[in-house]
């Protein structure tokens, strides 16, 4: 596992494509890297297990470990980028197309695509991603 450098400690080697996840403390900038480990980069590199339901050269979709609703998938670009970078990049067109097609396939009665940005929205992973949720009536949202 890659970890952040502490005083007097050699800096851990990190993947070129993975600058690190978000700071978790309230009030801390979400661009501050507190660790070089990115679980989504590890899944893309096949160093962490995942139930992959779609993959091409640019995008991977896998099942979320959380199971609040019957279908919880994550669509991620294979290249590490922050959430804001993803949503303003050309690759978002590919991620959103794959997410919509995967949602329609796995949730024929309807699904929701969403992304969280920052602490107040409960973003937990720095690697940009889109949630695909459904498989049941989702009700109203905040």
Question: How many CB atoms within 10 Å of residue 74?
Answer: 23
Hey, what CATH topology would domain 50-134 get?
Answer: HIT family, subunit A (3.30.428)
Higher pLDDT, 24 or 124: 124
CA 139 to each of CA 85, 117, 134, 135: distance values in angstroms, whole numbers, following the listed order? 30, 22, 11, 12
Taking the domains of the chain in order of start, what are their residue ranges? 50-134
**Which residue out of 106, 127, 129, 131 is catalytically annotated?**
129
SS3 content of the chain, % helix, strand, coil (to 5): 20, 20, 60
What does the pLDDT look like over 107-120, one tens digit per residue?
Answer: 999 999 999 998 88
pTM for the structure as a whole? 0.75
Residues 6+ away with beta carbon under 8 Å from 34: 4, 20, 21, 22, 23, 24
In eight-state DSSP terms, residue 102 is H
Name the pLDDT band for 29 (thresholds 50, 70, 90): very low
What does the pLDDT look like over 52-86, one tens digit per residue?
Answer: 999 999 999 999 998 899 999 999 999 999 999 99
**Span 100-111, mean pLDDT?**
97
Q: Is residue 2 flagged as an active site residue?
A: no
């Amino acid at each position: 596992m890659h970890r952040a450098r502490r005083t007097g400690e050699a800096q851990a080697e990190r993947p070129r494509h993975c600058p690190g996840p978000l700071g978790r403390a309230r009030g801390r900038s979400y661009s501050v890297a507190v660790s070089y480990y990115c679980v989504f980069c590890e899944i893309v590199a096949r160093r962490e297990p995942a139930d992959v339901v779609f993959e091409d050269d640019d995008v991977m979709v896998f099942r979320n470990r959380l199971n609040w609703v019957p279908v919880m998938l994550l669509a991620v670009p294979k290249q590490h980028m922050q959430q804001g970078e993803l949503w303003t990049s050309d690759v978002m067109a590919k991620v959103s197309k794959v997410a919509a097609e995967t949602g329609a396939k796995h949730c024929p009665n309807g699904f929701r695509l969403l992304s969280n940005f920052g602490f107040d929205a409960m973003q937990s992973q720095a690697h940009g991603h889109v949630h695909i949720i459904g498989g049941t009536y989702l009700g109203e949202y905040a």
